[in-house]
Amino acid sequence: MKITQVQEALENRTTEEMRIVAEKENTDINLLRERIAGGQAVIPANTRHRNLNPTGIGLGLRMKVNANIGTSQEKSDLKTELKKLRTAIEAGADAVMDLSTSDDLDNVRKKIIKKCIVPLGTVPIYQTAIEAGGVTDMDKDLYLEVFEKHAKDGVDFATVHAGITRDAFPPIKTRVMKCVSRRGSFLLEWMKCHGSENFLHECFDEILEIAAEYDVTLSLGDGLRPGCLADATDKAQILELKILGDLARQAREKKVQVMIEGPGHIPLNEIEKNVRLEKKHCDNAPFYVLGPLPTDIAAGYDHIACAVGGALAGWMGADFLCYVTPKNT
């Protein structure tokens, strides 16, 4: 098994990635190493991503910005996605996520990784659902196969929605918008169909083994993030957040780097509260905010709304911002 950034830090060793990040951030390298060891900072750097310029995310570091790209059923063109990748990097994106859902997914991912000099993230459950032939036909074995394929290709961080469980069904009944996360809806549908617990939650230890082998940073997804202000900071959201905190602790025990994804639609006056809740329940793990979107009435202008919410979230202590475009909300 390869040695992860966390394991190196715990054994008081400084990696080349740590040196690069400390220099870029103008921060004390010993302090950075301590924060990686404690889970307050991460350096998403797959051991197989050869051309990577490492980036640090977390406590004491600049807030980073992620850009989403990827093919879809409406438009599937590798040339266009590589152009998007170049544009994102030239514009200063600190990381990129490949959210492809059509075309030759393995080829698209490999070509993007080959050209990507910043940390690259993916969401393996997309490919799992496609290869299974449908959401309800997914199973843990296929998911683990897909996840390892992404890891072997050099993916630096992967979104895993292991925190949405069967306990979520009662609290979402009172919501205005039950579930707006595409991946969250996949798993709710799967659990309802099979009458079983979320297979990502059940096989989390196996996911950690693969992540540790390639030093893939886990981005624990918020499948129950609120889709409107009326549902912000509700029981369903906090239930999942507490589970994500437990999963983050399991990841640290296995020397796996971990980030926590967050909401979502939340009003301006609750952004600080949400940042504090994540830091409390997840032991100060880096917070990867999706937006946040502080209004429900900016459809088509999500990029502007999330710039406002993201700026405030960063001021309050969020670490990583997912840039939301009008076509990718």
Q: Where are the domains of the chain?
A: 62-322
User: By C-alpha distance, which of 144, 153, 227 is closest to 184?
Assistant: 227
The CATH H-level (homologous superfamily) assignment of domain 62-322 is: Radical SAM ThiC family, central domain (3.20.20.540)
How far, in Å, CA of 15 to CA of 18, rounded? Answer: 5
CA atoms within 13 A on the CB side of 55: 26
pLDDT tens, position by position, for the chain (329 residues)?
Answer: 568 999 999 999 999 999 999 999 999 999 999 999 999 999 999 999 999 999 999 999 999 999 999 998 887 789 999 999 999 999 999 999 999 998 799 999 999 999 999 999 999 999 999 999 999 999 999 999 999 999 999 999 999 999 999 999 999 999 999 999 999 999 999 999 999 999 999 999 999 999 999 999 999 999 999 999 999 999 999 999 999 999 999 999 999 999 999 999 999 999 999 999 999 999 999 999 998 999 999 988 988 999 999 999 999 999 999 965 544 43
Cβ(162)–Cβ(251) under 8 Å?
A: no
Count of CB atoms within 10 A of residue 84's CB? 18
User: By C-alpha distance, which of 185, 214, 182, 220 is closest to 201?
Assistant: 220
Q: How would you write the chain as a 3-class SS string? A: CCCCHHHHHHCCCCCHHHHHHHHHHCCCHHHHHHHHHHCCEECCCCCCCCCCCCCCEECCCCCEEEEEECCCCCCCCHHHHHHHHHHHHHCCCCEEEECCCCCCHHHHHHHHHHHCCCCEEECHHHHHHHHHCCHHHCCHHHHHHHHHHHHHHCCCEEEECCCCCHHHHHHHCCCCCCCCCHHHHHHHHHHHHHCCCCHHHHCHHHHHHHHHHHCCEEEECCCCCCCCHHHCCCHHHHHHHHHHHHHHHHHHHCCCCEEEEECCECCHHHHHHHHHHHHHHCCCCCEEEECCECCCCCCCCHHHHHHHHHHHHHHHCCCEEECCECCEC
Measured torsion, CA atoms of residues 86, 88, 92, 97, in degrees rounded to the nearest 10: -110
pTM for the predicted model, two decimal places: 0.96
